[in-house]
Every structure is written in structure tokens, then in C-alpha cells.
Chains A and B, each alone.
Chain A
């Protein structure tokens, strides 16, 4: 059974810092890995999708990496802004099932 773990559970940093969110998964037989953002009381917004054959994806200030063999992914956020405050969820897709981690609650302090 696939298990996804995100560390840390919560993170608070001052504005402008670069930061890394971590995700690990137990079964490396995945099709892709997706990072989502969730604002309080809102739905899930897809940030980055990494196919199993890829090593990383970039979108603006966000960069996600994938190391399937070790069962790890990282989400790097450069030059953080208060608007980046949200919960970030990592999800891995196996045979059509998307399994989520518990998320990292990120707070960027002005």
C-alpha cells in the first residue's frame, strides 16, 4: 500500500527566504507525482506535475524534483512571498489512484 509522508508538517519563514518542502513515498512504481496548493477553506490547485520519467519541473519561482528510486520529491520555493502562505500537498499516482500526503502548512511572515 502506497504511503506518502510530508515533512515538515508546518513551516514558518520570513518573506524573501528560499525554502524546501519534502515528500517521500514508499512504492516507487508511480506514474507521476503532483504538487498541489490548498488555501484555507478552498479547493486544490495543481502547481506542478512530474512524470515518472522526469527528474524535475519548474514553474516560475517553483521547482519540483523527483527521485523515484529513493522515493523522494522536493518542492523548492524561491524568494518566498506572503501570498505563498498555504498548505502544500504532495500526491503520487499509481494505477489511477492518487495518494496524498498530509501536507505542509506554510506561513510566510512579512
Chain B
């Protein structure tokens, strides 16, 4: 398995632009998570899905953030409009149905909003 695949690896955008981050989870994993990592706050859970359904989005910072999972093999995290304080590394992770088997993380997307 190729693991959790995220794209793009790096994104530089201007303030006010729309940004879309993409994630392909490991096949057979039915949980998908989006995390954000910053120096100040560390790793924070933004939202997670189970069987393509959003279960907990309490970590989504504002209405400018939205996430979708249209099928079991694809998820997006969208920021519209983007702001400089959104600059961070965004990680996607997936885990199998048997809770307790741990999470696998993607390589992350480093977002810079100028």
C-alpha cells in the first residue's frame, strides 16, 4: 500500500484566495482525520470522518474551513478565503475499522498564505 497520500506537498497562495488540500486514505481504512500543525499550537484535530460521514468538526476554526469526503478514497479540506494565520502544515491520517490499530499519517501539505 502506498500509504496516505496528500497533495500538494507545498502550497503558496495570496490572502483571499481559495485553497484546496487533498487526501487519499489507505484502502480499507474507514476513518479519516484532518490535523493542522503549527509551532504555537502543535497538532490539532480539525475534523474526522467515518465511512465518509463527518463525525466531529468541532476543531474546524471558522466557517472559512470546510471538508468533504465524497467517497471512501478521497477527501478535501478547503479554505475560502485564506488568511495568513492559516499558514501551517495540514496532515491527513486514516485508521482501520478496528479501533486500537493506530493511525497512519500522510506527509502533509505545507500551506503558506502571503
If over half of B's interface residues share one DSSP class (helix, strand or loop), that class is named, otherwise mixed; here it is: strand
Given A43-B107, A49-B102, A93-B99, check contact A103 B42 (CB 8 Å). Answer: yes
If over half of A's interface residues share one DSSP class (helix, strand or loop), that class is named, otherwise mixed; here it is: strand
| A97 interface residue (CB < 8 Å to B) | yes
> What is the CA–CA distance of A100 and B43 in the complex, to the nearest angstrom?
6
- Stretch from B19-27, B48-56, B60-68, B77-85 forming part of the interface with A: B48-56
> What is the CA–CA distance of A102 and B101 in the complex, to the nearest angstrom?
22
> B42 touching A96 by the CB < 8 A rule?
no
**Tally of chain A residues near chain B (CB < 8 A):** 23
| A63 interface residue (CB < 8 Å to B) | no
| B45 interface residue (CB < 8 Å to A) | yes
B49 shortest CB reach to chain A, Å: 10
> What is the CA–CA distance of A27 and B92 in the complex, to the nearest angstrom?
25
B10 shortest CB reach to chain A, Å: 10
| A98 interface residue (CB < 8 Å to B) | yes
> B100 touching A44 by the CB < 8 A rule?
no
Given A43-B108, A103-B42, check contact A98 B103 (CB 8 Å). Answer: yes
Residue ranges of B at the interface with A (Cβ–Cβ < 8 Å): 31, 33, 42-43, 45, 48, 50, 55-56, 91, 93, 95, 99-108, 110
Residue ranges of A at the interface with B (Cβ–Cβ < 8 Å): 31-32, 34, 36, 41-44, 46, 49, 51-52, 89, 91, 93, 96-103
